[in-house]
Structure 1
Amino acid sequence: MKRLIPTLKADGVSIEFIMLIRTILAASKEIAFRVSQGELSGILGSTLDENIQGETQKKLDVLSNQLIKDILLGDDQVRAIASEEEDDVVAGTPGAPYIVAFDPLDGSSNIDINGQIGTIFTILPARDDVADDSPLQFQQPGKNQVCAGYVLYGPATMLVLTTGGPTRCYTLDLTHGGYLLTQPEMNVPQDTQEFAINMANSRFWFDETTRYVNDLILGEEGPLGKRYNMRWNAAMVGDIHRVLTRGGIFMYPGDSRDPKKPAKLRLLYEANPMAMLLENAGAKAYAGKQRILDIQPDDLHQRVPVLMGSANEVDVCLSYYSE
């Protein structure tokens, strides 16, 4: 099987950029080891702190964030970093060409039950017109991303990555410690009979979402004319990996639960990198009626509604919002 570096070189990626990707993956290998040790490594349970999102931090959240932060700030290709767990931008090497944003550990609620969790990351070109530690560095639309990826910590540790070309899947080979190419090109089926949504929020949904999900549940007897199955991992990395592997539609729509936070998922750390991975695999990704990668951010921790997955099913869902 082909290794990561020869694959990236064949895609025309520069050696400097490859080294930056390797830096991120070095942290992922350490996180993967800690996850595999579970309670033996003392990383289960919560801390007494909350992050910038107002969420109680898990011990592994804090550890993962520090590991990735420290290793990126030591890379001379990184001008600044932004983390879902950090209040502000952290400056790196002055004049470096890239900035990196990441969700160090997606799916924290799954840590203590040995469920799916992962690391999401995105790389963008640095801006010369603003200060290195300015939030404006990261106020770029998702279409400016030069790399997006995630590492899924499961029975196998898997890397899904795009540098602008195909979305590829690699598996961490524990015999030599490297990522090997296991799916040269991921392609999301255009049609699907699977959907992923948090049904516990249904009483807060807006009418369009309620009507669409109700029609999904009606199956063959409803207007969509086919039976659907629901899947929900409570970790975006797990749900999106399933969509990339066999198709499906993933939804975290806006709702009325908290008027100050009408959406759940973060544009920079979650929606943009996942949208790039999916679009480069033939799927679609929207926030309401707008393509996610076209959104001009206005805040470092901006939240957006998310609808992404198999192209034809996304179109069906969007039709409910246009009625």
Structure 2
Amino acid sequence: MQTVQTILEKHRVSDSLAQAIHCVLDCSKEISVLLQKGAMAGVLGSAENENVQGETQKKLDVISNDLLKERLAECPVVAGIASEEEDLPVAANEDGQYLVIYDPLDGSSNIDINVTVGTIFSILPSRGEDPSKEATYLQNGRQQVAAGYVLYGPATMLVMSTGKGVDIFTLDPTSNEFVLTQEQVQITPSTKEFAINMSNQRFWAEPVQTYVSDLLAGEEGPLAKRYNMRWIAAMVAEVHRILNRGGIFMYPWDNREPNKPGKLRLMYEGNPMSMLVEQAGGLSVNGEINIMDIEPEKIHQRVPVFLGSKEEVEKALSYHKA
């Protein structure tokens, strides 16, 4: 039986980085238990406040965020913390080597109906800069030393990369350990599945309108292939499906809020998911360039996302270039 620690040792991950990863995973195990208890634990429903994004928080958003923030602050290798649910970064330990960035509960609108949600995390080097300052965290995705997510579904699963491929682990309820169940996952280069929120179609830019119309045209259309559409409204679930059977996930820019480049957050969602997708042989772009090549300007920056099977993402990209 290979555990997370076994794989970290196999990939020669430093003890300090392993410690930071284990701290995130220990929190995720507690979140998993709360989700399994659901209404019995009193964690369902909305909290009476909004996050920095102006979104209504769920009770478990707040609980998960507080749990991660408190535990990571106690982890000696963590210099600073940034959360999608927090206005500003939080300094942790003066001698810490890493910055941990996270979305405590992606897809939280699904909590009350018992549909898959997850915790997304990204780990960056601290570089000795002030962890209370936003500028310290503004590193592009290529600087990530680890990234992953914990998926809370029928099974609790960890998907992680430290820059040496992507491995998938399943939480064994008997030992309470994440056990390796899929090693060195690869995304199929071609696909017949796409995921996009079709209710926003009228707001998309012309290249996306044209591309999705061609997808829907099937065998008789210019792409000469019948596609199926999927939409779960939780990025962790969408990416997990793509890692296992291919596909393309899209959350493009739309014209409802022209000053916002997209809905998803570069630091909390775009970069960690892009690292996983690229490490598994896929592609992740914003419609122009690779997402991990974007130089961030602010901690809560948004970004359009097109990721998944390489050939299909390149096809979508060609519509933008045309």
Same fold (TM over 0.5): yes
Which residue does 2:102 correspond to in 1? 102
How far, CA to CA, are the matches of 2:48 and 2:78 in structure 1?
Answer: 31
Cα deviation for residue 18 of structure 1 reads: 1.1
How far, CA to CA, are the matches of 1:265 and 1:257 in structure 2?
Answer: 15
Cα deviation for residue 137 of structure 1 reads: 1.2
Cα deviation for residue 20 of structure 1 reads: 1.3
**Is contact 1:150–1:160 with CA below 8 Å preserved after alignment?**
yes
Which residue does 2:43 correspond to in 1? 43
Number of corresponding residues: 322
Which residue does 2:29 correspond to in 1? 29
How far, CA to CA, are the matches of 1:51 and 1:58 in structure 2?
Answer: 10
**Is contact 1:107–1:118 with CA below 8 Å preserved after alignment?**
yes
Matches within 5 A, 1:54-133: 54-128=54-128, 130-133=129-132
Cα deviation for residue 260 of structure 1 reads: 2.9
How far, CA to CA, are the matches of 1:137 and 1:115 in structure 2?
Answer: 35
Q: Deviations over 1:157-194 (max 9, x none)?
A: 00000001010000000011000000011100000000
Which residue does 1:280 correspond to in 2? 279
* Structure 2 SS opposite 1:290: coil
Cα deviation for residue 15 of structure 1 reads: 1.9
Cα deviation for residue 56 of structure 1 reads: 0.1
Cα deviation for residue 134 of structure 1 reads: 0.6
Matches within 5 A, 1:206-225: 206-225=205-224
How far, CA to CA, are the matches of 1:127 and 1:55 in structure 2?
Answer: 32
* Structure 2 SS opposite 1:149: strand
Confirm or deny that 1:303 pairs with 2:302.
yes
Which residue does 1:167 correspond to in 2? 166
Confirm or deny that 1:258 pairs with 2:257.
yes
How far, CA to CA, are the matches of 2:30 and 2:278 in structure 1?
Answer: 29
* Structure 1 SS opposite 2:217: helix
Which residue does 2:137 correspond to in 1? 138
Percent of residue pairs bearing the same amino acid type: 53
How far, CA to CA, are the matches of 2:195 and 2:132 in structure 1?
Answer: 37
Q: Which amino acid aligns with 1:187?
A: Q
**Is contact 1:256–1:262 with CA below 8 Å preserved after alignment?**
no
* Structure 1 SS opposite 2:190: coil
Cα deviation for residue 81 of structure 1 reads: 0.4
Q: Deviations over 1:206-255 (max 9, x none)?
A: 10000000000001010000100000110000000000010000000001
**Is contact 2:76–2:95 with CA below 8 Å preserved after alignment?**
no
Structure 2, unmatched stretches of 5+, are none
* Structure 1 SS opposite 2:88: coil
Which residue does 1:312 correspond to in 2? 311
Q: Deviations over 1:121-159 (max 9, x none)?
A: 00000022x422110111100000000000000000000
What is the TM-score with the length of structure 1 in the denominator?
A: 0.99
**Is contact 1:81–1:92 with CA below 8 Å preserved after alignment?**
yes
Which residue does 2:226 correspond to in 1? 227
**Is contact 1:121–1:148 with CA below 8 Å preserved after alignment?**
yes
Q: Which amino acid aligns with 1:172?
A: L
Structure 1, unmatched stretches of 5+, are none
How far, CA to CA, are the matches of 1:48 and 1:14 in structure 2?
Answer: 41
How far, CA to CA, are the matches of 1:140 and 1:3 in structure 2?
Answer: 30
Q: Which amino acid aligns with 1:249?
A: I
* Structure 2 SS opposite 1:20: helix
How far, CA to CA, are the matches of 2:95 and 2:252 in structure 1?
Answer: 38
Moved over 4 A (4+): none
* Structure 1 SS opposite 2:75: coil
- Aligned-pair RMSD on alpha carbons? 0.7
